[in-house]
Amino acid sequence: MTDLSDLLLRVRDRARRETPELAPYAGERDIAEAERQLGFVLPPLLRRLYLQVANGGFGPDYTLFPLVGAGRTAVAEYGPLRDARPVYWPRGVLPVLDWGCGMYAAVDCLSADAPVLLFEPNAGPDDWADAWFLDSPSLAQWLTAWLHGTGWWEEEVMTAENAPEPSPWPDAAHRLAASRKSMAPPARVALE
C-alpha cells in the first residue's frame, strides 16, 4: 500500500467517525465535468479525496466543500472568484473550505505538490498578494496535520505561546499578475 493510499484510509476512517452520514463519493463523470468547468485538472490527492472519501463534508472545522452538486461547492465558489475577482484570486487556486470572515483554505491545483493556501483578506491589504499565506506545502501534509491535531486552526495550537505565524505565499504576486493578465480584454487594433 502506498503512503497516499494509507493517508486516504486514515482520512476516510476519521471522516466516518466524525460524520456518520458522509456525502456519497463524487464519480468520475463528476470529476471530469468539474475539471471542464474549472479549466484545470485536480491534483491526484484532491481527486482521490472526492472519489474515495466523500463529496465534501469532512476535514478541519468547517469541512471541505463538496466538489459538485447543489448549493455551495468548490466549483461554484471558484467561478465568481476567478471571473470577477482576478485582482485577488489567482487562476488554478481552488477554494476547498470556508474558514469564515472571508477566509478560505484553497488548493493550488497548478502546483505538483498541491500546496494548501490561506486567503486572509481581513487586514485590508494594499496589495492583495499580502492576503495569501502558505498554510501547508502540500495537501498531504495539511491532511496529516488535521489527522494529528496539529493544524494552526486547532485551539491548542492557535493559543500556544509559540503559535506558528503564517508565512506569506511566495508565488502570490506572480500568480495574481498572471490572472489579471489572462482576464484582460484583448488590445484593440486601430484600423487605418
Query: 42-66, pLDDT tens digit by residue?
Result: 999 999 999 999 999 999 988 999 9
Q: For position 97, what pLDDT does the model report? A: 97
pLDDT score for 189: 44
27: pLDDT strictly greater than 90: yes
28 vs 49: CA distance, rounded Å = 12
What pLDDT does residue 165 have?
80
Q: Which domains, ranges and CATH numbers included, belong to the chain?
A: 3-153+160-180 (3.40.1580.10)
Cell of 61: 472545522
Q: How confident is the model at residue 166 (pLDDT cuts 50, 70, 90)?
A: confident
Helix (H) or strand (E) holding 135: strand 132-136
Helix axes 74-84, 28-38, angle to 10 degrees: 10
CA 7 – CA 146 distance, rounded (Å) = 11
Within 10 angstroms of residue 80's Cβ, the number of other Cβ atoms is 10
